[in-house]
Amino acid sequence: MNGFDGVVSSRRGFLGLAGGSAALLALGSAPAQAARVKTAARVVILGAGAAGTALANRLVTRLEGAEITLLDARKQHLYQPGFTLIAAGLKPAGYSVSATKDWLPQGVTLIEEAAAGIDPVAKTVTSTGGTVLGYDFLVVATGLKLDYDAIPGMSLDLIGSDGVGSVYAGPEHAAKTWEAMDKFTSEGGVGLFSRPATEMKCAGAPLKYTFLTDDYAVRKGTRDKVEIKYLAHNKAFFSVPIVSEKLRMLFGERRIQTAFDHVLIALDPGRRIATFQTPEGPKEEGYDFINVIPPMRAPDVVRASGLSWADKWTDQGWIEVDKGTLRHARFPEVFGLGDICGVPKGKTAASVKWMVPVVEDHLVAQIEGKEGTQVYNGYTSCPLITRIGKAMLVEFDYNDNLTPSFPGVIAPLEELWISWLMKEIALKPTYNAMLRGKA
């Protein structure tokens, strides 16, 4: 059995993060019980989000004597899949917030500063406080930057007022987005929903919020005075063709108007006008509510480090890793993990769950002078909420193959209550188990 088969079969045995449940907690792919590897290696991890925290927890159980240092200036850990529920008025802002340090094991040194410089040739990282850290292994897990500045007229201060929402900006902003969406679905008008043309985390989230807004208007009896428009950035609603087609049908049934090739490029909050780039040139759309989702890029420090792809995603700066091993193409002691990776799919926490054991495997094998065997197959998943109490559990890989965790039990393209429960109830405990390195 090669490494790829191993990953696939273990995935079938367990559940994807989005399909998480108690079974995952019991059976999940916790670090192997092999003898700990003795080493004095210096491992530096940039970012204590979903990916960095999960890896740190697993490495302390695999390595004995290693110096593991984690850098992150953010004292709060944010459970981002909760933002959609907060923005739908179903959870309070605090639902997504915990303390970063509470997730970290003994044996990991947390430096509460960001990386300000990365020199992969000298093998050093410089923190914002000026500390220079040498490393033997570097794991870049910085997540991504929400580039609100790329939309003239948009500012985080606007969120919650004058019909401006943004589910992505953080838990407090998600709560303010709920206030704006609640008002809109009570009073009526035009609601605009779109996604950026860059790669993005959780590409399902813009769609979920469109459906949730429709559902609220239906429940409030205001649907006839609410116009909902979903403006896709290219010629599809989703990267997987069969899912895109299902969405086309659902949008039609729900009277959600659609257009292709529309990318938000400017906002005039005073006039409540959004400008979209289209093949015919800039086009203005009036709104009473808009869910602004900005372009997403690698953080500046990563883009300046020389670790990004030189010939792909040049406006976005994702790092140049092998899509199977997540090892950097030019610096073998550097790995990418999570949203920062320049791979064709996988900007979800569900992907992180399957990426972490792969990086762990190759990093530990390299310390031992061996070859790692695990391969990331692009697994990602999206519990695509279609109304309160219903979701489609869409799971797929690099090749757009649907990869259901529960074949024959949960149909990926059906709107099911059980799939809703996965998102609303099971996902957070499963995510937390992943953070602890237990799943």
Ligand X SMILES: Cc1cc2nc3c(=O)[nH]c(=O)nc-3n(C[C@H](O)[C@H](O)[C@H](O)COP(=O)(O)OP(=O)(O)OC[C@H]3O[C@@H](n4cnc5c(N)ncnc54)[C@H](O)[C@@H]3O)c2cc1C
In the numeric block, the tokens 């099911």 are attached to 416
Residue number, 201 or 229, with CB nearest to ligand X:
201
Report, in Å, the least distance between residue 417 CB and ligand X: 17
d(CA 425, CA 435): 17
Give percent helix, percent strand, percent coil of the chain, each to the nearest 5. 35, 25, 40
222: Cβ contacts below 8 Å, ≥ 6 apart: 185, 186, 187, 188
Contact 351, 324 (CB under 8 A): no
Residue number, 39 or 84, with CB nearest to ligand X:
84
Residue number, 41 or 203, with CB nearest to ligand X:
203
Residues in the chain: 439
- Name the segment binding ligand X (CB under 6 A); options: 56-64, 218-226, 343-351, 359-367: 343-351
- Sign of CA pseudo-dihedral 296, 81, 87, 416: positive
The residues in 64-123 that bind ligand X, with binding defined as CB under 6 A, are 71-72, 74, 80-81, 83-84, 114-115
Q: Site mask, ligand X, residues 352-381, x = CB under 6 A?
A: x-----------------------------
The residues in 121-150 that bind ligand X, with binding defined as CB under 6 A, are 141-143
Report, in Å, the least distance between residue 326 CB and ligand X: 12
Report, in Å, the least distance between residue 214 CB and ligand X: 18
175 lines the binding site for ligand X (CB under 6 A)? no
Residue number, 118 or 274, with CB nearest to ligand X:
118
Contact 237, 230 (CB under 8 A): yes
d(CA 271, CA 289): 12
Residue of 169, 194, 172, 318 whose CA lies nearest to 259 = 194
Residue number, 345 or 362, with CB nearest to ligand X:
345
Helix ranges (DSSP H) in 88-195: 171-187
Q: Which of 168, 211, 230, 287 binds ligand X (CB under 6 A)?
A: 168
44: Cβ contacts below 8 Å, ≥ 6 apart: 69, 70, 71, 125, 133, 135, 137, 138, 139
To the nearest 10°, report the CA torsion of 410, 414, 418, 423: 110
Count of residues in contact with ligand X, rule CB under 6 A:
36
6, containing H or E segment: helix 3-13
Residue number, 261 or 322, with CB nearest to ligand X:
322
Q: Output the residue with the shortest Cβ distance to ligand X.
A: 49
165 lines the binding site for ligand X (CB under 6 A)? no
52 lines the binding site for ligand X (CB under 6 A)? yes
Q: Site mask, ligand X, residues 242-281, x = CB under 6 A?
A: ----------------------------------------
* Alpha carbon separation from 34 to 16, 26, 245 (Å, rounded): 24, 19, 46
Report, in Å, the least distance between residue 57 CB and ligand X: 13
Report, in Å, the least distance between residue 348 CB and ligand X: 3
Report, in Å, the least distance between residue 244 CB and ligand X: 18
> How many Cβ atoms sit within 10 Å of the Cβ of residue 360?
26
Report, in Å, the least distance between residue 82 CB and ligand X: 8
Q: Which of 19, 336, 338, 404 binds ligand X (CB under 6 A)?
A: 338
The residues in 182-221 that bind ligand X, with binding defined as CB under 6 A, are 201-202, 205
SS3 state of residue 38: strand
Q: What is the binding site for ligand X (CB under 6 A)? A: 17-18, 46-52, 71-72, 74, 80-81, 83-84, 114-115, 141-143, 167-168, 201-202, 205, 299, 301, 338-339, 347-350, 352, 383
